Amino acid sequence: MNEFELIQQFFSGDPRAPGVELGVGDDCALLQIPQGQLLAVSVDTLVGDVHFPSQADPELIAERALRVTVSDLAAMGAEPLWYTLALTLPDADPHWLESFSFGLGAAASDFDIALVGGDTTRGPLTITLQVYGCLPPGGALRRDGAGLGDIVFVSGSLGDSAAALAAMKKELVVGGDDSAYLQERYYKPESQIAIGKALRGIASAAIDISDGLLQDLGHICRASDVAAVIEYERLPLSSVLRGSASEAQAISWPLAGGDDYRLCFTVPRDRLDAFENIADRYSFDLTAIGEIVAGTGVTCLKDGQVVKLAAGQGFQHFR
Ligand code: ADP
Ligand code: MG
């Protein structure tokens, strides 16, 4: 199969998606941004055996790749529109590609996001996805808006993806159902788009948790020139994590484990009523974990004592 057949068979995109004047097949895609909106753009590269196990089911690799990339749109409060795929493959295996493109399509339909272009090359397995979304001006959930006294929230549960990785590496022993739950959390992080959109005009700052809560909340604090104090006892941990992790793991995974792709955001106290209304209306799973204070950095208290993590605050490629 040559490069052009491969693109045509597996990555022909969705030429009838909203705003797509011209999709896959020409030198550029031509796209109509909804009138009066800002374009939100983000790109992620996932390298085999760095960001995911290369030998994993290609359907799951694709699901995860698109979900973690769209996570940045959710964290900005944007609505997904289009994406491009730059795919580097060791070889063109039709079975692998069939399964990969199926997973990609499944995640894309969940987000209502359309494939409009890409690039295909030979080399070590690497997936680069660029996502495009839109936002009303002034609606973006930036990192630099947290203020003193704001309440810090997270969505969903924390630490499950770190537990999933430990289970894959046989460092954690879990039963069949629990293993399936953790795999699902790692490979199919749930869409946070509805939460991000609902938080427009309510949250003062937001970020997606990709590298661990302490590190990512730290980015909000640095950008906003404030500090945060969170309480370990309030962190939302799944029953699977509670039931399987050691005491040390149950501390380090939620605080410093990467790959959760939940949202962390701050809400000013005078918007808490509006916030409760939307949280109830949509039945979002959101938990208050702490508060924004003066100073720098993120402090986590457990039984009133400051938690110190041996391994640092989260994932980094270059230390
Ligand atoms: P060019 O050489 O002009 O960059 P290519 O030959 O790389 O074009 O690609 C031809 C068309 O196929 C372009 O529209 C490009 O966006 C699209 N395309 C290439 N690879 C992919 C891919 N993996 N997924 C989606 N579209 C792709
Ligand atoms: Mg090209």
Going from the C-alpha of 93 to that of each of 1, 10, 49, 98, 103, the distances in angstroms are 9, 12, 19, 9, 16
Does ligand 1 lie within 6 Å of residue 120's CB atom? yes
CA of 41 to the centre of ligand 2 (A): 20
Q: Which atom of ligand 1 is nearest to the CA of 87?
A: 23
For residue 1, pLDDT over 90 is answered with: no
Q: What is the pLDDT of residues 155-182, one digit of tens each?
A: 999 999 999 999 999 999 999 899 999 9
CB 213 within 8 A of CB 162: no
User: Which residue's CA is minimally distant from atom 14 of ligand 1?
Assistant: 25
The predicted structure's pLDDT at residue 71: 98
CB 74 within 8 A of CB 203: no
Report CA Rg, the chain.
20
Mean pLDDT of 132-158: 98
Question: What is the token pair recorded at 31?
Answer: 């796209």
User: Which residue's CA is minimally distant from atom 13 of ligand 1?
Assistant: 25
The predicted structure's pLDDT at residue 176: 87
Does ligand 1 lie within 6 Å of residue 27's CB atom? yes
In the chain, % of residues over pLDDT 90: 93
Does ligand 1 lie within 6 Å of residue 118's CB atom? yes
* Residue 236 CB neighbours (<10 A): 17
Does ligand 1 lie within 6 Å of residue 116's CB atom? no
For residue 113, pLDDT over 70 is answered with: yes
Closest by Cα among 20, 66, 25 to 43: 66
Does ligand 1 lie within 6 Å of residue 258's CB atom? no
Q: Which of 3, 9, 14, 24 to mutate to test the pocket of ligand 1 (most atoms within 8 A of CB)?
A: 24
d(CA 206, CA 255): 17
For residue 207, pLDDT over 60 is answered with: yes
Does ligand 1 lie within 6 Å of residue 25's CB atom? yes
Residues near 36 by Cβ (< 8 Å), separated by ≥ 6?
136, 137
d(CA 171, CA 99): 29
Does ligand 1 lie within 6 Å of residue 115's CB atom? yes
Does ligand 1 lie within 6 Å of residue 23's CB atom? no
Closest by Cα among 205, 206, 202 to 272: 202
3-state secondary structure of 261: coil
For residue 316, pLDDT over 80 is answered with: no
For residue 317, pLDDT over 80 is answered with: no
Name the pTM for this structure.
0.94
Average model confidence (pLDDT) across the chain: 95
**pLDDT band for position 318 (cuts 50, 70, 90):** low
CA of 27 to the centre of ligand 2 (A): 8
Going from the C-alpha of 270 to that of each of 203, 205, 231, 308, the distances in angstroms are 11, 15, 22, 33
Q: Which atom of ligand 1 is nearest to the CA of 10?
A: 24
Q: What is the pLDDT of residues 218-230, one digit of tens each?
A: 999 999 999 999 9
